[in-house]
Amino acid sequence: MTKRILLLDTGKEWGGGTNSMIELLKRLDRSRFAVTALFYYNYPKGDTSDLKRELAAIGIPLEIMTPPRQPVWAKLAKELTRGLLRPLPELRRRFLHRIERLWRINPLARRLAARLKEGRFDLLYLNNQPSSNLEGYLAARMAGLPVVQHCRIEAGLQPAEVDVVNEVAKRIICVSVGVKDSLVAQGVRPDLCRVVHNAIDGHQPLPEAASILGARPGTLVIGSVGSLIARKSNDQLLRAAAKLRERAPDFHLLLVGDGPQRMALQELAKKLGLADRITFAGFQTAPLPWLAAMDVMVLASAKEGLPRVILEAMLMGKPVVASDIVGSRELVKHGETGFLYPYGDEAALADCLERLLNDAGLRSRFGEAGRQRVLRDFSIESYVAGVEAELWKAS
């Protein structure tokens, strides 16, 4: 028997969650699962591809459901709510949510329910986290279908969202123990949650290092990979690097990714005197060659789920310095494969980097230990088997 699955993703840009989804869909047993993807946007993958082409290449059909434009009344209602309820943040958040339900979430839920019935699907599979997939829960309830949520980041839920999740979801696949614990702490039923760690293909050929424009020969490279957004806290990495100039060997910074903070980060680099030792590489469809060029990989994020970029860095044998947050702390063994530091502590980040830049042997030991850990504990085969098991049980 083949289960017909509609996969809903409401994202707007390519990221680690997209890559993990693609790696799963490549390997999903087509004799058991027939997947149709439904997205709101056919977003690009760099300058050379997009979601539709990437899914077509692995035989997954994509449908685009264009969301409604925000009406004037909703915009005005939000502005009024923000102004009047500024002293009452929790009440303000609830009113804003109600407005969002009226103009966007409820209409989308009705359209999705109609598509689920028309397509005679057996299951709705949500790829992101409950708050951004609420219309999916409502649609599945209307259509009388089970829901599997793949929660890929630590999520903050409102009480009404928790209630819907507990009522409708059959399974919530959590990419880390930390994500599961966070959901349960907010009231999600523990029996719904299953941990299936993100993973990486350890059998793929490893690439040569990319050439970094502007890097002087022989300099050590501190790098980071990810969207240039506030959550990634690359500004903290830059300020920590500025503290290192008199304390560490010659180094070069490498930021791989693009996003709304790029210009601000470029200005900050100039202000800190780092302009001549930083490269903004932009979005790269293949991150591994850029990780190969790094001597140390940093992830300074405020929030993650189980960051794929750390798995990639470990596969490439690179020591990792990461903020001590959900997800990252499950991957980085402090003092064995890298260092963890308190999020936002730029001095501590600088100290970790200093130790690694000044000790080639430590970099090598951490990198090899990380590579062995990812090959042993985070195999792509376990990831796919774990997700398949939960999809089958739920439907």
What digits encode the pLDDT tens for the residues 252-303?
Answer: 999 999 999 999 999 999 999 999 999 999 999 999 999 999 999 999 999 9
Choose the weakest-confidence range: 27-36, 187-196, 386-395: 386-395
Alpha carbons 160 and 163: distance in angstroms, whole number: 5
Full set of structural domains in the chain with CATH: 3-199+380-394 (3.40.50.2000), 220-377 (3.40.50.2000)
The pLDDT, as a whole number, for residue 218 is 84
Take residue 113 and report the two structure tokens written for it: 């329910």
Take residue 29 and report the two structure tokens written for it: 């047993």
Rg (CA), the chain: 22
Take residue 25 and report the two structure tokens written for it: 């869909």
Start-to-end CA span in the chain (Å):
11
| 127-160 confidence digits (pLDDT tens) | 999 999 999 999 999 999 999 999 999 999 989 8
Pairing relationship of beta strands 49-50 and 3-9 according to DSSP bridges: unpaired
The pLDDT, as a whole number, for residue 247 is 87
Asked if pLDDT for residue 66 goes beyond 80, the answer is: yes
Between the alpha carbon of residue 26 and those of residues 30, 106, 297, 381, the distances in Å are 10, 32, 28, 12
Take residue 227 and report the two structure tokens written for it: 């969207």
| 4-31 confidence digits (pLDDT tens) | 999 999 999 998 999 999 999 999 999 9
| 48-64 confidence digits (pLDDT tens) | 999 999 999 999 999 99
Take residue 384 and report the two structure tokens written for it: 């796919």
Between the alpha carbon of residue 391 and those of residues 126, 162, 169, 212, 276, the distances in Å are 11, 21, 12, 42, 50
Q: Pick from 256, 254, 249: which is nearest to 226 by CA?
A: 256
Spell out where the chain has E strands. Answer: 3-9, 33-39, 44-45, 49-50, 62-64, 123-128, 147-151, 169-174, 193-195, 220-225, 251-256, 278-282, 296-299, 320-323, 338-341
Choose the weakest-confidence range: 113-127, 240-254, 302-316, 317-331: 240-254
The pLDDT, as a whole number, for residue 245 is 87
Using CA of residue 230, residue 236, residue 241, residue 243, what is the dihedral sign? positive
**Average pLDDT value for residue range 234-238:** 98
For residue 169, list its beta bridge partners.
Answer: 147
Mean model confidence pLDDT for the chain: 96
**Average pLDDT value for residue range 220-240:** 97
